[in-house]
Amino acid sequence: SLYKAKYDVVSAGFADAADSAKILAATSKLAVGGVTSAANAADILTTALNAYGLSARSVNDVSDILFTTVKFGKTTMDELSATLGMVLPFARAAKLGLADVGAVMASLTAGGIRTAEATTALRGALTGLASPADAAKKAMEEAGIEVKRFDDGTLDILETVKQFVGMPPDAIRKFIPDVRAQLAIGA
């Protein structure tokens, strides 16, 4: 598993000896703490690093976020490894930080939504909020709903989603037509 992990780290673009050693050290810790293989740990770490354009110096922070997601969610490192890559590019494009992605995934999975469905729901919600269709954008404007951002421009997913609290599913559908994305908004 370590040989595959080393291969994955290098093929993900971290060929520098110091960088790959740093990532492999974090991989070993995450594999043990996350009860997964070194290959899966290396995969999810390098996927997250590359999705956010981070260097190997950030690997321990990324590992902590992923471990915390598993700790507080109802998911496993293997499930995250298999699915998280499908949402990270959308999250970065929407300017949603990795820690926030982890918090949303933990919340959704803890609420009973399976990891793969939660990933799909979050991706759909980010797409719907970041670039809503014309009708949805107009409905959001009329309802006074806006995408909230922090001062640095990153998406404040909690404050954005709070605007939908208490709305019945048919009302949310006007803003977020994707049924799976509604799971992330209405959860």
Which amino acid, 14? F
User: What pTM does this model have?
Assistant: 0.89
pLDDT tens digits along 42-100: 999 999 999 999 999 999 999 999 999 999 999 999 999 999 999 999 999 999 999 99
Cβ–Cβ under 8 Å, residues 184 and 121 = yes
Q: Is pLDDT above 70 for 187? A: no
Most confident residue range from 46-60, 118-132, 163-177: 46-60
- Band of residue 165 on the pLDDT scale cut at 50, 70, 90: confident
Q: How far is CA 8 from the centre of its chain?
A: 20
DSSP 8-state symbol, 62: H
Dihedral in degrees, nearest 10, Cα atoms 127, 86, 104, 140: 10
Please provide residue 95's backbone torsions phi and psi, each rounded to the nearest 5 degrees.
Answer: 65, 40
Q: Is pLDDT above 80 for 15? A: yes
Alpha helices per DSSP H over the chain: 2-11, 17-33, 38-51, 59-72, 77-83, 88-93, 98-110, 115-130, 134-143, 157-162, 169-175, 179-186
pLDDT tens digits along 16-35: 999 999 999 999 999 999 99
pLDDT tens digits along 106-118: 999 999 999 999 9
d(CA 103, CA 127): 18
At residue 155, the 3 state secondary structure works out as strand
